[in-house]
């Protein structure tokens, strides 16, 4: 794939979703904040970026990345934006949603934590090759508002993370509305909405299956 080819994610029922940008929400489940040693009080959401060429499609392979000894999984609901805008009112935010998918925010945890300790950006812990697996996109009209439902991931058949979308600190309309205050959202944007507790390491040879009720599962292998 050359650097000018747009990344496209398949859509359930046919078609593809051309990806423009990937935004990620940090610290969006209280239990995950606790396991990361962060104050669980509700604060405004914050965002970081991944590049579109980091996407790995369902059934794909994720190479174990260099410069880390602690490569971890984070299961997440992904919002696919179909209609852009800025300062989108919360009560209109769902009108901007094209669909949803299961995603994995793969993380070089040791690099992320070192950056956090030193007050530096998270980029090398979060923003690297093959760090954003994304499953088949289900249209919003079929999926519904995704306000609740199981979110989980298994590694080699063992449940590692299991929670409910209802436990997100910031829900889908709040996330879309808040992010649109900082940037002009456009069709093709993806938003990874944060992970619940239970994050942990993976190794070469592991098979991950991400699940969210109402969406197509995401399966990737670590190689």
Q: Is residue 91 part of a domain?
A: yes
Domain count, the chain: 1
Q: Is residue 1 part of a domain?
A: no
CATH number at residue 74: 3.90.850.10
**Domain that residue 182 falls in:** 8-222
Q: What are phi and psi of 195, to 5 degrees?
A: -120, 150
Give the C-alpha separation, 74 to 103, whole Å. Answer: 8
> pLDDT of the chain along its 223 residues, tens only?
455 689 999 999 999 999 999 999 988 887 756 666 666 566 778 899 999 999 999 999 999 999 999 999 999 999 999 998 999 999 999 999 999 999 999 999 999 999 989 999 989 999 999 999 999 999 999 999 999 999 999 999 999 999 999 999 999 999 999 999 999 999 999 999 999 999 999 999 999 999 999 999 999 999 9
Q: Is residue 216 part of a domain?
A: yes
Q: Is residue 22 part of a domain?
A: yes
Q: Is residue 3 part of a domain?
A: no
Q: Is residue 2 part of a domain?
A: no
């Amino acid at each position: 794939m050359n650097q000018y080819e747009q990344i496209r994610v398949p859509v359930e029922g046919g078609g593809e979703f051309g990806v423009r940008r990937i935004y990620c929400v940090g610290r969006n489940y209280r239990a995950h904040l606790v396991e990361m040693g962060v104050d669980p009080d509700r604060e405004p959401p914050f965002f970081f970026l991944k590049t579109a060429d980091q996407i790995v499609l369902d059934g794909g392979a994720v190479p174990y990345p260099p410069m880390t000894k602690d490569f971890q999984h984070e299961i997440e609901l992904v919002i696919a934006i179909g209609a852009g805008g800025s300062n989108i009112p919360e009560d209109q935010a769902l009108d901007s949603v094209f669909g949803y998918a299961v995603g994995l925010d793969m993380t070089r945890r040791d690099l992320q934590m070192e950056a956090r300790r030193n007050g530096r950006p998270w980029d090398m812990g979060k923003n690297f090759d093959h760090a954003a697996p994304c499953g088949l996109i289900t249209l919003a009209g079929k999926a519904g508002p995704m306000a609740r439902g199981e979110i989980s991931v298994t590694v080699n058949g063992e449940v590692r993370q299991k929670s409910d979308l209802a436990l997100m600190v910031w829900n889908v309309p709040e996330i879309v509305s808040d992010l649109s205050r900082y940037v002009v959202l456009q069709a093709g944007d993806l938003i990874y909405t944060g992970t619940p507790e239970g994050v942990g390491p993976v190794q070469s040879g592991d098979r991950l299956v991400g699940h969210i009720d109402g969406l197509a599962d995401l399966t990737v292998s670590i190689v």
